[in-house]
Amino acid sequence: MNIPESYYPVICASHGQSLVDFFTQQLHFEPVFNSDWYWHLNLPSTSHINIGIVDHQHPSVPDGYRKPAQGLILNFELGKVADLYARAQAKKWKILLTLRDEDWGQRHFIIATPEPGVMLDFIETIPANQNFLKHYHDEKQLT
Cα 23 to Cα 42: distance, rounded to the nearest angstrom: 10
pTM: 0.90
1-69 and 70-143 have identical folds: yes
Contact predicate 114/22, CB 8 Å:
yes
Its CATH class, for the domain covering 70-143, is: alpha beta
How far is Cα 11 from Cα 129, in angstroms, rounded to an integer? 33
Q: Cα separation of 57 and 129, whole Å?
A: 44
Q: 3.30.720.120, 3.40.50.12590, 3.40.50.2300, 1.10.357.10: which CATH number matches 1-69? A: 3.30.720.120
Domain ranges of the chain: 1-69, 70-143
How many angstroms separate the CA atoms of 81 and 92, rounded?
A: 16
pLDDT string in tens for the chain (143-residue length): 789 888 999 999 999 999 999 999 999 999 999 999 999 999 998 889 999 999 999 999 999 999 999 999 999 999 899 999 999 999 999 999 999 999 999 999 999 999 999 999 999 999 998 888 888 876 554 44
3-state secondary structure 77-90: EECCCHHHHHHHHH
